[in-house]
Amino acid sequence: RMTVEKNNEQFLSLVEELKTHLILVEGKRDVRALKSLGIEKIIAINGRSPIDVVGNVFKYSKHPNLKESSVVILTDFDHEGKELALKFNKIFQRYHVKTNSRLRNALMKFGKSQIEDFNQKRLD
């Protein structure tokens, strides 16, 4: 079992890494949660069509502060969220948009099922 301190340390370094990527989330509460962690480059699906979202990603990927060209798909970690992640993974592949599943998987290890639950600097 990881200690709380070690856990928080790993979480914060993950947050630092997420800040350099474009993040795709499901909705407004997810955006708010990530912004509270200082993550700014976020696109919310908000029930829009995939093609709409891809257009958004293309626009955003020209952003000068974007160090990483890959998108991190942070839909929730429940069944629906995973389905959505797979769907967007396929769509992004079709449009040659790189995705980073390593960061999604790393975040999953913190045992929360919804992105909106990552809304403070500590995990306890």
56 touches 43 (CB < 8 A): yes
How does pLDDT run across 8-63, given as a tens digit for each residue? 889 999 999 999 999 999 999 999 999 999 999 999 999 999 999 999 998 887 76
- In this prediction, residue 123 carries a pLDDT of 58
Share of the chain above pLDDT 70, in %: 90
Q: What are the φ and ψ backbone dihedral angles of 45, each rounded to 5 degrees?
A: -70, -45
Provide the pLDDT for residue 21: 92
- Whether the per-residue pLDDT at 122 is higher than 70: the answer is no
Angle, vertex CA 52, rays to CA 113 and CA 33, nearest 5? 30
- Interval 84-102: pLDDT, tens: 999 999 999 998 889 999 9
Residue pair 72/103 in contact by the 8 Å Cβ criterion: yes
Residue 68 has pLDDT above 80, yes or no: no
Q: What residue ranges define each of the domains in the chain, with the CATH number in brackets?
A: 4-117 (3.40.1360.10)
Q: Stretch 112-124: mean pLDDT, rounded?
A: 74
Q: What pTM value is reported for the model?
A: 0.88
Give dist(CA 76, CA 54) in Å, integer: 19
